[in-house]
Structure 1
Amino acid sequence: MFVEQGVKAQDRNVQIPGSLRFRIKFLFRLKWFIHSVFPYSGVMVLLLLLGKRNRVNFPIAALMRPYLSTFLACLQSGLFVILLIIALTVNPLWAGDAAKVPTFDSLTQSGLEHYYSLEYDQAFKEFQKAIDLKPDDPKAVNHLLEAVLFSELYRHDALDTSLYTQQSFLSSKQITLDPKVKQQIKDLADKALSLSEKRLKSNPKDVEALYARGVTKGLHSTYLALVEHAWFASLRNALGSRSDHEEVLKLQPSFVDARTVVGIHNYVVASLPVAVKIMAGIGGIHGDKKKGLDYLAEAGKAGGESSVDANVALGLFLRRESRFQDAMGVVHHLVEQHPHNFLFALEAANLLKDSGKKPEAVAAYRNVVESCKQNKFPSAHVEMAYFSLAGVLRAQGQYAESIQAYESAGNATTTNNELRQRALVAAGEVSDLLTKRDDAVKEYRAAIALDGSSPEADLARKYLNKPYREH
């Protein structure tokens, strides 16, 4: 009687949190079923779920009033333990998405997703958390090493694929990194290598450790080549990377991720100039283009951890081979997988340009520029898209629009003064073609002001003395 009166007094003041209304409604609809299976159990399940289990702070007795007698009977019947088990078992069905404790694999996957979306800061955090969980795993350290290195390469526009379809990157200026970042890269590489070596001392046939060591050497090779221009040291590390991954494939042929590095090296060596290739052959270094492309295709289709890298390399090499249709298929797959990756979208436009589909390329570049304006690409380097767009417009004789695009690239806020200079000099050249000499002089002087010691500055001075003319 006392309970009944208390319930009546609170009826009008019951306030149910909005987020729980759908749960309450759903549970009451299920009550008849639970009650029929376990007599007197419905109220207990509701009480456990809405009260203790969810810590709901409202007068639940008012909701339970029609079932109080059932509840008391339930306590007397000895079904409490059974009902508690039921409540604990079914609770996950409506407990909501409780915070999950991140695992090494989930952190790694999340980090890779951020990495391939060029969201480097987020990738750093996820990879560091993975290291904290497994501080002795060289794979975890390699992930952070790769993210730090490639974030710097991207910041300096060193991931522009047009550099690697020619030999121009061999004579390009060294990338200047902050000394602290250079030290971080060195420390991470040393740590990853040390962890791999430690495992290999215990078990020389540890394929995971062999693979990790090969990855570390490959990343160090990239750093030495693009940042330090230490070509021979880079070559030694590249060969070491290939050797480790070939050993992995001997020990475990199904380890498809190891085919990525081996495939890249086979293609690159086979693509060297004849004289260099002969010297490499004398040193025991051989390559095979077909084998390289086949390995990359297999690794890309396997969907392993190196599959994205394999497809990036495959798309680039197919482009160099003028197999544009095949390359487009690979790159479009990358774009679908990682729609926020600016470089993949830009590469799709580059392929249209190189395949001779210039109107389609113009549309693709404009779409990339517009997507940058709408912030669809994290940390997009829109100046790269503007520069490529300007080149296609110029080739089609759309000079006025070409100048606008060149100027957008030349006036961009970027650390890549080399690209800005090239854009400003090109804008001056097109202005000369339109006999707009004053505009051309202005562009040349702006280019020289960025860096008076560069080859582009020398070219600008030449055109200041004599207007540019097409040959």
Structure 2
Amino acid sequence: MTPSFRKFFDRWFLTISALGLLAVTPSTSKSAEIAPQSLMQNGFHSMYNLDFSQATQDFDEWQKQHPQDPMGPVAHATALLFAEFARLGVLEAQLFVDDKSYEDRKKLTPDPKIRDQFQNQLAMGDQLAAAALLKNASDTNARFAKVLSLGLRSDYAALIEKRDLAALNYTKQGREDADLLLKEKPDAYDAYIALGVENYLTGIKPAPIRWMLQMGGMQTDKLQGIEQLQKTADHGVLLAPFAKLLLAVAAFRDKDMNKGCNLLRGLASSYPKNPLYSRELVRCH
């Protein structure tokens, strides 16, 4: 892999991790249906507010109440990795808008205990998802647990271990499962972010790189990606805030300050305990 192509993959996975990390679908099995203001929703809301302790408590309680639901341990793994990324400072939107900030970023030093907990939770979720899909191949909850698990593995491989090709392989597998999920349930709006992130972030690359990615089975339509992200932003149950954040970053990259600032103001109002949004609003003054 050439240095320029490697830099592209590094940046691509970094953006996916911070903005698309929490891609979860509200389409669940009957035994663990996510109701309004459920522990699962509360846990993700806490993560958006950077309250990882409360998020973990909610996800642990969800696991106790729904021990066969793969989303329990996968959501727990999400909280672990998201907290680690927050600690390491990779959630700053400036990294995604300004190339120099990305190139000058500090080397990441992961916590080995968090790594082990993260991997154990993913392994548990993978086992539960496989068992559920063996019983019912149309189980959309289990299908998305696979999508999220693969996405988290991709994030860790790219950002922590710097294994770009392994991360790309995880991402492709996850997108294939997301396609299957949306065929089963087209109104699983949170899942559209998995497609939108791939389309947008590859679609903004120069034509030669887009061609190479297409040859590898990637989707590279920028406009379609924005439409898919907008579906999640407008109708998503758990992932709408992250879709809005990615749309804000896209707006800033396109010099559309009005759209980007309006999206950030809405996020800052909804999640006042998350300083990321308020810090990024400085660019709007």
| TM-score bracket for the superposition, by shorter chain length | 0.7 to 0.9
CA contact (8 A) 2:198 2:218 kept: no
Give the unaligned 5+ runs of structure 2.
Answer: 1-32
Q: What is the TM-score when the length of structure 2 is the normalising length?
A: 0.82
CA contact (8 A) 1:218 1:241 kept: yes
Matched, 1:154 2:86: yes
**Residues in 2 aligned to 1:151 and 1:127: alpha-carbon distance in whole angstroms:** 14
2:21 aligns with none
Give the unaligned 5+ runs of structure 1.
Answer: 1-102, 353-359, 361-471
2:257 aligns with 324
CA contact (8 A) 1:242 1:262 kept: yes
1:304 aligns with 237
1:142 aligns with 74
- Superposition deviation, residue 148 in structure 1: 0.7
| Count of aligned positions | 250
**Residues in 2 aligned to 1:231 and 1:306: alpha-carbon distance in whole angstroms:** 25
Q: Higher Cα Rg: structure 1 or 2? A: 1
- Superposition deviation, residue 174 in structure 1: 3.9
Q: What is the TM-score when the length of structure 1 is the normalising length?
A: 0.50
- Superposition deviation, residue 167 in structure 1: 4.4
**Residues in 1 aligned to 2:135 and 2:34: alpha-carbon distance in whole angstroms:** 23
CA contact (8 A) 1:267 1:287 kept: yes
- Superposition deviation, residue 151 in structure 1: 0.6
1:164 aligns with 96
Q: Which of structures 1 and 2 has the larger relative contact order (alpha carbons within 8 angstroms, sep 6+)?
A: 2
Q: Secondary structure at the match of 1:228?
A: coil
- Superposition deviation, residue 347 in structure 1: 2.0
Deviations 1:316-368 (A, max 9, x none): 22222222211122222211211221111112223x2xxxxxxx2xxxxxxxx
- The letter for the 2-side match of 1:150 is F
1:93-242 matches, within 5 Å, as 106-167=38-99, 169=102, 172-242=105-175
**Residues in 2 aligned to 1:165 and 1:110: alpha-carbon distance in whole angstroms:** 30
2:268 aligns with 335
Tell me: CA distance 1:231–1:347, structure 2 relative to 1, closer, same or farther (3 Å).
same
**Residues in 2 aligned to 1:116 and 1:303: alpha-carbon distance in whole angstroms:** 14
**Residues in 1 aligned to 2:108 and 2:206: alpha-carbon distance in whole angstroms:** 26
CA contact (8 A) 1:174 1:226 kept: no
CA contact (8 A) 1:174 1:228 kept: no
Identity %: 27
**Residues in 1 aligned to 2:217 and 2:34: alpha-carbon distance in whole angstroms:** 40
**Residues in 1 aligned to 2:237 and 2:229: alpha-carbon distance in whole angstroms:** 12
- Superposition deviation, residue 142 in structure 1: 2.0
CA contact (8 A) 2:71 2:125 kept: yes
1:38 aligns with none
Q: Secondary structure at the match of 1:223?
A: helix
CA contact (8 A) 2:213 2:220 kept: no
- Aligned-residue CA RMSD (Å): 1.9
**Residues in 1 aligned to 2:207 and 2:155: alpha-carbon distance in whole angstroms:** 23
1:54 aligns with none
Tell me: CA distance 1:127–1:111, structure 2 relative to 1, closer, same or farther (3 Å).
same
Tell me: CA distance 1:254–1:104, structure 2 relative to 1, closer, same or farther (3 Å).
closer
